[in-house]
Amino acid sequence: MPSAEGAPSSINSTETNGAKLEDLTADNLTQHVIKISSNISNERVKYIFSKLIQHAHDFVREVDLQRDEWEASWQFLTEVGQACSPDRQEIILLSDVLGISALVDTINSRQSPGTTESSVLGPFHNDSHFFENGDSISSTGAGDSMLIRGTVKDLHGNPVHGALLDIWETNGNGHYDMQDPEKDGPDCRGRFYSDEEGKFYINGVKPVDYPVPYDGPVGKVLDLLNRQAYRPAHVHFLISHPSFEKLNTALYNRESPRLVLDPVFGAKSSLTKDIVWCEDLEMAKIHKTRPIVRKVDGQDREGFWLLEHDFILADKQEVKKRKTHD
C-alpha cells in the first residue's frame, strides 16, 4: 500500500518559487513545471530536470501526442520495466535500440582523443571468474577456437602492466551464458590481467551474429520499425586500471554483413577487425590455444582463429589536466 508517511506537505511562499495559480495551457505549462521543480540548490540536478521537462514537452507538442498514443506509451514502458530481471535489462536494451546508449558512450569518450574508441556495454555484462593468460574462458564444444591477444598501452606507447581485462562474448550458437538454459554459471566470459609487457592472450571462441533479446517489448519496437535484431559478431572488453580511465569497448568481426544494421549502433570502423585463420601451431602451443580442424579450399586444415588488437588507455592525470585547461 502506498504510504503518505514522510510525504512533504508544507506550503510556503519560497516553495512555489514564484509560480502563480494560472490556467495551464500548452504554451505556459512547461515553464510552470520547470519553475515548480527549480527550488533546489543542486545546479546540475536542476539543469538536467529543466532540460528533461523541456525536451519531453517539446516532443509531446511537436507530434501532437494523442491520448491513445500516450496510453500506449505508458503501457509499453510498464512492460519494459517489468521485463527486467537480474538476468535481463530491458530498459538498457530500449536505450540501446534508440541509439541513446551509443550517444552517451560517444559523448563521454570524446574527451580522450587518440585512445581506443568505446562501444556500448549492452545488457549482458555479468560477474565472471578470474583467469590467467593462456586459459580458456569457454567450455569446449561451444564454438570455433579463437585466440584473443594484444597489448594494453598508454597514449605514448608505453605498455600498461596489470590492466584488468573483463571480456564477454556469445558462444558459437549465438547465446550468452545467461541466455543458455544448459548453463548455470559463467561461460565465455572472464577477467584477467595484462602482463609486465602489457600483453594479454586468452582463449575463447569465434563470436557469431546473434539477436538482441527479442521476445520482449523492445523486440516489438524493432518489429514495428522493420529493423533486424541481429548484432554483428563481437567480443566485449571492459578494461580498467587505477591510473587510467575505464575503457568500455568491443571488437567487431569485419566479415559480419550486419555492421551497418547493428540494432544498438555499437559497431565502429576503428573497432572492426579481421578475425584471421591462423595455422601457426607453434603459436597455438605458446598461447595454449586448442587447434581445430576446418575445411580450407576443400582440404582439412588444422589451425585456429585469431583476434588481435592493441588497446590504448587514457591517463587519468592527463584527462584531468586537459579538462582543467578547457
Stretch that binds its own copies, among 29-37, 199-207, 284-292, 294-302 (CB under 8 A): 29-37
Interacting residues with its own copies between 127 and 156 (CB under 8 A)? none
Kindly list the distances between the CA atom of residue 33 and the CA atoms of 8, 17, 36, in Å, as whole numbers in the listed order: 18, 11, 5
Q: How far is Cα 255 from Cα 301, in angstroms, rounded to an integer?
A: 20
Tell whether residue 32 is a contact of its own copies (CB under 8 A): yes
Burial of 124 per CB tally in 10 Å (0-12, 13-18, 19+)? buried
Q: How far is the CB of 165 from its own copies (least distance, A)?
A: 19
Tell whether residue 78 is a contact of its own copies (CB under 8 A): yes
Q: How far is the CB of 117 from its own copies (least distance, A)?
A: 8
Interacting residues with its own copies between 290 and 319 (CB under 8 A)? none
Kindly list the distances between the CA atom of residue 169 and the CA atoms of 86, 121, 134, 187, 258, in Å, as whole numbers in the listed order: 18, 12, 17, 9, 17
Stretch that binds its own copies, among 148-156, 206-214, 294-302, 305-313 (CB under 8 A): 206-214
Q: How far is Cα 12 from Cα 234, in angstroms, rounded to an integer?
A: 57
Nearer to its own copies among residue 159 and residue 211 (C-beta): 211
Tell whether residue 228 is a contact of its own copies (CB under 8 A): yes
Tell whether residue 43 is a contact of its own copies (CB under 8 A): no
Burial of 291 per CB tally in 10 Å (0-12, 13-18, 19+)? middle
Q: Which of 143, 190, 213, 303 binds its own copies (CB under 8 A)?
A: 213
Interacting residues with its own copies between 249 and 288 (CB under 8 A)? 257-261, 265, 267-270
Interacting residues with its own copies between 84 and 113 (CB under 8 A)? 84, 88-89, 91-92, 95, 98-108, 110
For its own copies, what does the binding mask look like between residues 161 and 200, x meaning CB under 8 A?
-------------x----xxx-------------------
Q: Which of 20, 295, 323, 325 binds its own copies (CB under 8 A)?
A: 20
Tell whether residue 70 is a contact of its own copies (CB under 8 A): yes
Nearer to its own copies among residue 217 and residue 303 (C-beta): 217
Nearer to its own copies among residue 181 and residue 185 (C-beta): 181
